[in-house]
């Protein structure tokens, strides 16, 4: 049972996952495609954009996540 062809423009290989063929699916998992796998920080409860590797600028510098979900700056 065929799932169709790869959704990447110019590729006609069979789909294996997330709409991509095996080659492009592997690239998607590594974050090598223009539309990467993750776009936000991987720290728990952080939704900021990534800046360095898989972390936002704040977490990349080693700061812990704020308690209670919101930063307590007053």
Q: Which has more confidence, 44 or 67? A: 44
User: 3-class SS at 29?
Assistant: helix
Tell me the percentage of the chain whose pLDDT exceeds 70.
77
User: 3-class SS at 70?
Assistant: coil
Q: Give the start-to-end residue ranges of the domains of the chain.
A: 1-60
Tokens of 19: 């709409």
- What pLDDT was estimated at residue 34? 74
This prediction's pTM:
0.49
Mean pLDDT of the region 45-72:
72
Q: Which has more confidence, 64 or 27? A: 27
Q: Could you give the CA distance from residue 33 to residue 6 in angstroms, rounded to a whole number?
A: 13
């Amino acid at each position: 049972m065929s799932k169709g062809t790869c959704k990447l423009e110019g590729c006609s290989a069979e789909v294996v996952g997330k709409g991509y063929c095996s080659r492009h699916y592997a690239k998607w998992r590594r974050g090598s495609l223009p539309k990467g796998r993750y776009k936000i920080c991987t720290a728990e409860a952080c939704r900021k954009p990534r800046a360095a590797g898989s972390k936002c600028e704040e977490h990349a510098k080693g700061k812990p996540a704020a308690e209670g979900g919101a930063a307590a700056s007053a």
